[in-house]
Amino acid sequence: MSKRILTGIQPSGTLHIGNYFGAMRPAVTLQDSGNECFYFIANYHAMTSMPDPKDLHERTFGVAVDFLAAGIDPQKTVFFRQSDVPEVQELAWFLSCICPMGLLERCHSYKDKLAHGLEANHGLFAYPALMAADILLYQSELVPVGKDQKQHLEVTRDLAIRFNNHFGDILTVPDAYISTEVAVIPGLDGQKMSKSYNNTIELFGEGKPVRKKFMSIKTDSTPMGEPMNPDTCNVFALYKLMATPEELEALRKNYLENPEFGYGHAKQLLFEKYTEYFAEAREKRKELLANPQKVEDILQDGASRARKVADATMAKVRAAVGL
Ligand code: ADP
Ligand code: TRP
């Protein structure tokens, strides 16, 4: 059954293949299975780390381009910039006023940042209330997120229920959609690929510089001529994300049975697969980068479609709270 699905991504750096397989590909699949999708770039949220204004602007645009290149279809999906629908701030305020301090104080992502010595600002503390507003403004039913965002979804549900109990049944109580089938994508060193660990492979890399990264993927030290274990190998795990079942089987055979096949060959094969797998998206990205006005038009159109839904919610919400 078609659901209203919403998710946001922070514009916080160059996207990597962990982001693609963990977040972007599932988002495109949901879009292509007939759901009503609202996807946005969370540029207000990105302000909690006080980015340089020029960087914030450029990254927001860059993420929009990358998502469109990766398969977001603006005909099917309402694709927009968070800040183009500023009504979300008004709803965030209403939610803040029914949100107990303790609910926010308990949030792990906030506590982790404090533990890492970050000097917290009020925006960082209030982050989950704004995230709840993102979700509730569009009456979203399902919210695909990574495990790290699960608690923010619980806060969102809690606030929606509180609001409805207090002011009447107005907000849809959403469910988190945490995909269990998408494993954690390993980075160059075998840990979770993450920009914070500096172990990423960029989504749209090309040629020598990115090949060098593939060649540096950590493997065990099985000597040439000995069988290699595909099930513990990072190269194999990454190949699996992009290869057909036949291609994967062929690689498994080489690992186990071909004495002339070593990790260098596997890495080269993976690099070639990556180059081919993202070829179409890479071309599309170049086209979009050459045509920034087209991207801006898509985002504006998305914002105007998003605002229609937002306005309907806000009319009810404002009346209910007594404004
Ligand atoms: P990073 O860890 O590089 O800072 P983010 O936290 O900004 O990435 O993640 C953006 C999205 O990409 C989230 O939905 C997250 O779950 C997904 N994601 C990031 N890294 C991975 C990974 N290694 N494996 C699977 N999904 C990932
Ligand atoms: N907090 C999310 C993240 O860091 C981004 C986000 C902001 C979001 N608003 C949202 C995700 C609403 C889902 C729904 O990944």
Q: What is the CATH number of the domain that holds 255?
A: 1.10.240.10
**What's the CA gap between 44 and 11, in Å, rounded?**
10
Asked if the structure places residue 221 within a domain, the reply is yes
Active site residues: 113, 192, 195
Residue 142, SS3 per DSSP: strand
Same domain, 301 and 270: no
Asked if the structure places residue 26 within a domain, the reply is yes
Beta bridge partners, 36, equal: 4
Cα of 183 to ligand 2 centre, how many Å?
19
User: Which range of residues forms the domain containing residue 270?
Assistant: 205-277
Give percent of the chain with pLDDT exceeding 90: 89
Same domain, 29 and 177: yes
Residue 137 pLDDT: 98
Burial class (CB in 10 A: 0-12, 13-18, 19+), 119: exposed
Residue 21 pLDDT: 93
Same domain, 51 and 121: yes
Residue 281 pLDDT: 97
Q: Which helix (H) or strand (E) holds 39?
A: strand 36-41
Query: What confidence tens digit (pLDDT) does each residue in 272-313 have?
Result: 999 999 999 999 999 999 999 999 999 999 999 999 999 999
Cβ atoms of 295 and 287 within 8 Å: the answer is no
Mean pLDDT computed over 100-104 = 97
The runs of H, that is alpha helices, within 108-244 are: 108-115, 122-137, 150-167, 207-215, 234-242
Beta bridge partners, 280, equal: none
Name the domain count of the chain: 2
Confidence of residue 14 (pLDDT cuts 50, 70, 90): confident
List the one residue out of 192, 203, 200 whose CA is nearest residue 216: 200
Same domain, 86 and 157: yes
Cα of 212 to ligand 2 centre, how many Å?
32
Residue 88 pLDDT: 98
Cα of 80 to ligand 1 centre, how many Å?
20
Confidence of residue 116 (pLDDT cuts 50, 70, 90): confident
Cα of 192 to ligand 1 centre, how many Å?
9
Phi, psi of 85 (to 5 degrees): -125, 75
Confidence of residue 5 (pLDDT cuts 50, 70, 90): very high
Mean pLDDT computed over 53-78 = 97
Asked if the structure places residue 285 within a domain, the reply is no
Asked if the structure places residue 316 within a domain, the reply is yes
Same domain, 134 and 18: yes
Residues 6+ apart with CB under 8 A from 13: 59, 195
Asked if the structure places residue 126 within a domain, the reply is yes
Measured from the Cα of 134, ligand 2's closest atom is 12
Q: Whose CA is nearest to atom 9 of ligand 1?
A: 19
Confidence of residue 81 (pLDDT cuts 50, 70, 90): very high
CATH no. for residue 134? 3.40.50.620
Residue 7 pLDDT: 96
Residue 79, SS3 per DSSP: strand
Same domain, 153 and 223: no
pLDDT of residue 147 exceeding 90: no
Same domain, 176 and 216: no
Query: Which residues line the pocket of ligand 1, CB cutoff 6 A?
Result: 9-10, 12, 18-19, 22-23, 146, 182, 184-185, 192-196
pLDDT of residue 258 exceeding 90: yes
Q: Which helix (H) or strand (E) holds 108?
A: helix 108-115
Mean pLDDT computed over 111-126 = 90
Query: What confidence tens digit (pLDDT) does each residue in 169-216 have?
Result: 999 999 999 876 667 899 999 999 998 899 999 999 999 999 999 999
* Residue of 315 and 148 predicted with greater confidence: 315
Asked if the structure places residue 133 within a domain, the reply is yes
Burial class (CB in 10 A: 0-12, 13-18, 19+), 106: middle
Cβ atoms of 36 and 4 within 8 Å: the answer is yes
Same domain, 237 and 313: no
Same domain, 241 and 161: no
Measured from the Cα of 9, ligand 2's closest atom is 5
Q: Mean pLDDT, the chain, as a whole number?
A: 95
Same domain, 273 and 300: no
**What's the CA gap between 110 and 141, in Å, rounded?**
25
Asked if the structure places residue 189 within a domain, the reply is no
What does the block give as tokens for 235?
A: 């190269």
pLDDT of residue 119 exceeding 70: yes
* Residue of 107 and 180 predicted with greater confidence: 107
Same domain, 146 and 111: yes
Asked if the structure places residue 145 within a domain, the reply is yes
Same domain, 132 and 160: yes
What does the block give as tokens for 73?
A: 């279809």
Confidence of residue 80 (pLDDT cuts 50, 70, 90): very high
Cβ atoms of 65 and 288 within 8 Å: the answer is yes
Cα-Cα-Cα-Cα dihedral sign, residues 168, 107, 87, 305: negative
43 lines ligand 2 (CB under 6 A): no
Residue 37 pLDDT: 98
Measured from the Cα of 152, ligand 2's closest atom is 1
Residue 31 pLDDT: 97
**What's the CA gap between 294 and 310, in Å, rounded?**
24
